[in-house]
Structure 1
Amino acid sequence: MPLETLLLFVPACFALNMAFGPNNLLSITLGARHGLRTPLLAATGRLVAFTLMIAIAALGMGAVLTASELAFTVVKIAGAAYLVWLGIKILRAPATVAVDQPEPAGRGLASFMRQEFLVAIGNPKAILIFTAFFPQFVVAGHYWSSFALLGAIFLALELVAIALYAYAGTRLSGVMRHARGLRWINRISGATMIAFGGLLMAARRPAM
């Protein structure tokens, strides 16, 4: 995979990983209630769900990159539009966190892993990331290896995001109702995704 492709993918991907959503909210909440170790272990459920979704997306998207230039352009526009849409939505979202929400059913680590899995697997935004965002960076002549590399990078960056949100929960447990830090996260993540949406619109199809 060309270095310039990775240099574009990594920061764009990390902006998606850091976007404030239900799974990252769960990491913050668990961090505030149980410390750093519990949300990191519980996130195994999220990573398993994303791994399954990446595999399914890879199996279904092969024909797209081997199709015409028009098909690639349509997918590229869809991916860029998704980034811009999500960025605007995050910028407009209220930065509120409810720390008094009910605990998941059960008290063991397994229940937290299960909740992470169910929240992730049912998130339509994640499905769009793997089916509309990933193909912009896949090298058609090395489809499987490049998709696997992108998936591995995504999962590694997701783990970093999990750790950051969980750590924020441990540090912000006393002021989470105000969520001023989350407001800045929303602004930075939203603006970054909009910017990379524009960059994706200018991206060219990888050489066969």
Structure 2
Amino acid sequence: MNLATLALFLPACFALNMAPGPNNLLSISNATRYGLRTACVAGAGRLLAFAIMIALASAGLAVVLQTSELVFYAIKIIGAAYLFYLAYQLWSAAPQAEVEAQQASAGQWTLARQEFFVAAGNPKAILIFTAFLPQFVDPTADVGHQFAVLGALFLLLEWIAIGIYAYIGLHMRRWFAEPRGKRIFNRCCAGLLSAAASMLLMARRA
């Protein structure tokens, strides 16, 4: 893998990392409710899901999603249902309860698990890895090594994107400091998550 390939890969990859989506929205919401550090640590769940997807793409197992309509739609429906569940939790959350949870430093494992399931519940993500990463792989060289390098770079850039979105959420927390403001923000996030779930339900295999 040469420098010219990396020069093309890095900006294109970071554009994917920064694209608005359910996970990035979750990072904003988590930072707003629990703080920057908690949101960044919770992002490890997303990275784990993406690492598994990259490994599947590298092994060629993503073909299962491309050829099996049943598997694709099963994952899609489960993922959308989970997004609707998170939207309901945000919609009905009590601002005072969030303050108490933040003071107790609760929920890092729970939030990481949420990040994992939101990422894993999107079958289009693994198809993106299947379509995107191979464009930068030289078939005449060691494919496994190249996938490992590109995958590691993708995860590093994803971690940076998590931090950026969490930082945005941290500043938004100052705008929504009052309970009424927090309730409005939570319900806006709930609406956006519901919209993402609806879009996921309408997604079709390429």
Q: With structure 2 as the length reference, what TM-score do the two structures score?
A: 0.63
Residue equivalent to 1:9: 9
Per the TM alignment, residue 123 of structure 1 is displaced from its structure 2 partner at its CA by 1.4
Q: Hey, what does 2:172 align to over in structure 1?
A: 172
Please give the alpha-carbon distance, in whole angstroms, between the structure 2 residues aligned to 1:24 and 1:120: 10
CA contact (8 A) 2:56 2:62 kept: no
Structure 1 or 2: larger helix share? 2
CA contact (8 A) 1:30 1:39 kept: yes
Q: CA RMSD in A?
A: 2.8
Structure 2 residue aligned with 1:26:
26
Structure 1 residues 136, 113: CA separation in 2 closer, same or farther (over 3 Å shift)?
same
Q: Which runs of 5+ in 2 are unaligned?
A: 64-86, 94-100, 186-206
1:71-107 residue CA offsets vs partner (Å, 9 max, x unmatched): xxxxxxxxxxxxxxxxxxxxxxxxxx9995356xx95
How far the C-alpha of 1:137 sits from its partner, in A, is 0.4
Write the distance in 2 (CA, Å) between the matches of 1:57 and 1:158.
17
Residue in 2 that maps onto 1:41: 41
**Compared CA separation, residues 98 and 10, structure 1 to 2 (3 A):** farther
Deviation at 1:13, TM superposition (A): 0.3
What is the match of residue 114 of structure 2? Answer: 115
1:1-208 correspondence to structure 2 within 5 Å: 1-60=1-60, 100-102=90-92, 108-140=107-139, 141-173=141-173, 174=175
Is the contact between residue 28 and residue 169 of structure 2 (CA under 8 Å) also seen in structure 1?
A: yes
8 A contact 1:31–1:169 mirrored in 2: yes
Asked if structure 1 preserves the Cα contact closer than 8 Å seen for 2:27 and 2:165, the reply is: yes
Distance 1:143 1:61, change over 3 A: farther
- Offset, 1:166: 0.2
Percent identity over the alignment? 54
* Equivalent residues, number: 143
Task: Report the 3-state secondary structure (helix = DSSP H, G, I; strand = E; otherwise coil) of the residue aligned with 2:170.
Answer: helix
Moved over 4 A (4+): 97-100, 175-178
Structure 1 residues 100-152: Cα deviation after superposition (integer angstroms, max 9, x where no partner) = 5356xx95211111100000011123112210111000121220111100000
Kindly provide the amino acid, as one letter, of the partner of residue 46 in structure 1: R
Distance apart, 1:35 and its partner CA: 1.1
Contact 2:62 2:127 in 1 (8 A): no
Gaps of 5+ in 1: 64-96, 179-208
